[in-house]
Amino acid sequence: MAEEHHRKITLSGGWIAARSSEVQFTGTELTTTEPPPISPISPWMQAFLPGTVLATLVNNKIVPDPFYGLQNEAIIDIADSGRDFYTFWFFTNFHCNLSTNQHCDLNFRGINYSADVYLNGHKTILPKGMFRRHSIDVTDILHPDGNNMLAVLVYPPDHPGTIPPKGGQGGDHEIGKDVTTQYVEGWDWMAPIRDRNTGIWDEVSISVTGPIKIIDPHLVSSFFDNYERAYLHTTTELENMSSWTAECSLSVLVTIELEDSICLVEHLQTQDLSIPGKSRVQYTFPKLFFYKPDLWWPNGMGKQSLYNVVINIDVKGFGESDSWSHLFGFRKIESHIDDATGGRLFKVNGEPIFIRGGNWILSDGLLRLSKKRYNTDIKFHADMNFNMIRCWGGGLTERPEFYHYCDYYGLLVWQEFWITGDVDGRGDPISNPNGPLDHDLFLFCARDTVKLLRNHSSLALWVGGNEQTPPDDINAALKIDLRLHPNFESVDENSKSLENSSRVLRDPSQYLDGTRIYIQGSMWDGFADGMGNFTDGPYEIQNPEDFFKDSFYGYGFNPEVGSVGMPVASTIRATMPSEGWQIPVFKKLPNGYVEEVPNPIWEYHKYIPYSKPDKVHDQIQLYGAVKDLDDFCLKAQLVNYIQYRALLEGWNSRMWSKYTGVLIWKTQNPWTGLRGQFYDHLLDQTAGFYGCRCAAEPIHVQLNLATYFIEVVNTTSEELSNVAIEASVWDLEGTCPYYKVHENLSLLPKKVAPIVEIKYPKSKNPKPVYFLLLKLYNMSDSTIISRNFYWLYLSGGDYRLLEPYRKKKIPLKVTSKVSVDESTYNIQLNVTNTSKRPDTKIPTLEYSSTSTAISCGAGKEHESGWLKRIHRCFAGKSDDGLKVCEINGDDVGVAFFIHFSVHASQTEYKEGEDTRILPVHYSDNYFSLVPEETMVVNISFEVPQGVTPRVTLDGWNYDGRQTILDIV
């Protein structure tokens, strides 16, 4: 993992738990007698750890699953039960033998909210605060025989608050008096968490060292000569726990993995030290020089090169005393307020990066956090071509495992501290205007959090809070603590250094951080209007074309803009009883708009409608009457795709001229919510996921829905030359009434180029509903750089004609190749629409020159020999050795909205039973194919032992789930 003490042992298994009021023993008795038994008459149960009290109760079926249907209402809230009800004992035993001069620490990386720790009868009180680490020297407490008993009594937050009848943002806001998660009293996207996340929610470990231990090393890279010269700065604290002066050899080793686990040693430096007994010292290594190191880049900008930095300390007469390692990326992040847009602009390694990302709360509301889940979460974000995640202030300060995968996949992270305006400064009455009660505790937790996370390449900036700034004294302290080292100050930044620049500069690794900016709040200093006014959002369904209009958003960087997020029908059936399978009632209003009235279970799960009376007509009803849940959810996926693609493409269209970035509210839900998500809590993607994936690709061809101009967005640092665009319109009869090719285009780096207007809607007798396929080609090797498929209707119309189009049976051919590595399956599917391209109906193309604004060279429209070669590339290849599935059909046209899923092979199904295997990573999904076109789709997933997977296909023209690959 990202950071590791090589002598650390994680205590993750074998824990049991019981409600404190039901345990008749003291902590001393629990840890000096026999371990408590688990039996039908015992209060003890298997503990879910790391996790919360509620996670343990759910896991043992003591309480129902709060994420299913309305079952959260059947769980008593801490406001009604009292804090004692959720005050729990956690117990385990572990083995540890120490040799002479060895020392042992017992470590808790996160407890909510405070605890009494008993080890072998010895008591230690852990102070309050969810976001702080605890380390206890237990050297003299461990039993000589190595068998040790550990009991932890965990207390809930001091101010768990009550839930008002109508709920609201953060309940009654009492939770804001503590330094803890604030979402747990409920939000407009989340039901209340009954135990307020009480528990041992993060890693527990013991670390065994010699006399000297390594504490919180700090790694910093600096660059000179246009990134050809780099230095690694390293400072660490060292504690001598013995009573004698230790003669030590301290070393730092830097390696990089080349391939096949072969490592190249870049540097090895050793220093001799003498450390007095019972003392703690700070040591800064001489900086290490690197010539042209491999750089770490965000997703879409380059590779995520990571070096392994290992610090060792040997003690004379003892040997290796401690060792620490961390993966580290050489990169420089700069940020300033952009003069052209007023938005905050980020640069990585000197290159501007157009921010397209999302907001994040946490992966699971019961804090059932795991490396495996984090890996899936962050890979999903990378798969969507996102480059930033904002960790919202009402949720978690995310864990090192989260950051490890952000380092690995290239997701920049905006990390907020635990302030949010709804709980700290707003409300009726005004909520906690002075923030948490204990400001010193807040600052202690903040400083400790910085030390925990600062070595991660992905961590881009610290922010004081969500839609609010911390209280003045906390804000002032954070500004000083997180001041930039002069080497990292941007020349464009208005703020001046808080230090006197004339004095001798300290090494940057001696700062608490020193490399990242601190912004006081999410709507200040280049975000939203920059002054803290409510200028983020909106959060509802939008007319897709509005995202492209100048009036949609007035500021350079929107930290929160959100919309719908309905999952597929299988998720509804898996997370709700049959009463929750009822679709909304579409209530016609006098003004002609429709109001959606959801069933009570959807309402409880915070469903957000697909209409906004007075502004947006119901986007699902654009496709006609809705029959049932499956029909509703399928049409919702169509809307999800259009909505989020349009959102990002609207921002793309004004890259650097109006906008510097956007973060969507939000990417996922920490429970089974029904709004603002690209994948659901069960880890199945919505079509919005693939709309984002399309729109956020580094080089992208798109249609401006307001002007109907084709635009090419080049976010890379490379100029594109000798490229071409093919634009084809396909109607519902399978003919191609519009076909244009624009050749010999040149596209400047980091620019948006409007190419030409699509004039089909203005042509004679255009079809009321049609498909548009845009392809950006590299003319030299015929590869597709970007492909984008739209379904459109004429102004004032709708998509109702697509309903009868569902009856068209478009033939498909799917060839598949499967490889299996232990339990991981990798499948390549070649999907071809085998209906015939109506070449005779493609109109004769006119020769005309195309001039474009901004950065596009002149081009001509014609069907060249080059384009004919492109079409031959997609004519299909030999199927020898591959599995082939053919879906027969006599119709000609577009195979619309094809969707794959993976299921466990079963012969019998019960109503509502979920056979999906999740998660699955798809290179594309919810896609469409014009006649004779082929799409290659790569699929990867893990399968539980004993399960046989099958791949199914469904879509607009394909009823039900058709098995296209049964893996035997």
Quick check: 750 and 718 in contact, CB under 8 A? no
Residue 717 CA: distances (Å) to CA of 140, 352, 489, 949: 59, 9, 23, 42
**How many CB atoms are closer than 10 A to CB 481?**
17
Token pair, residue 768, equals 């009321």
Q: Is 545 annotated in the active site?
A: no
- Please name which of 68, 193, 195, 77 lies closest in space to residue 672, comparing C-alpha atoms: 68
Q: Indicate which residue of 203, 239, 334, 467 is catalytic.
A: 467
* DSSP, residue by residue, 756-792: EE--GGGSSS--SEEEEEEEEEETTT--EEEEEEEEE
Tokens 């610290």 belong to 462
The whole-angstrom separation of Cα 175 and Cα 161 is: 6
Q: Indicate which residue of 174, 398, 560, 697 is catalytic.
A: 560
**Greatest CA span in the chain, whole angstroms?**
93
Quick check: 105 and 9 in contact, CB under 8 A? no
Q: Is 351 annotated in the active site?
A: no
- Please name which of 452, 454, 462, 408 lies closest in space to residue 296, comparing C-alpha atoms: 408
CA terminus-to-terminus distance, the chain: 35
Token pair, residue 437, equals 């009660």
- Please name which of 541, 547, 858 lies closest in space to residue 707, comparing C-alpha atoms: 547
Residue 66 CA: distances (Å) to CA of 28, 71, 72, 364: 34, 5, 4, 12
Residue 602 CA: distances (Å) to CA of 163, 361, 578, 616, 967: 20, 21, 12, 21, 36
The whole-angstrom separation of Cα 551 and Cα 529 is: 14
- Please name which of 629, 640, 624, 495 lies closest in space to residue 572, comparing C-alpha atoms: 629
Spatial CB neighbours of 476, under 8 Å, sequence gap ≥ 6: none
DSSP assigned state of 175: G
Q: Computed from CA positions of residues 625, 628, 634, 639, in that sequence, does the dihedral angle turn out positive or negative? A: positive
What's the chain's length in residues? 968
* DSSP, residue by residue, 840-864: GGSPPPPP-EE--STT---EE----
Backbone angles phi, psi at 454, to 5 degrees: -65, -20
By annotation, the residues acting in catalysis are 467, 560
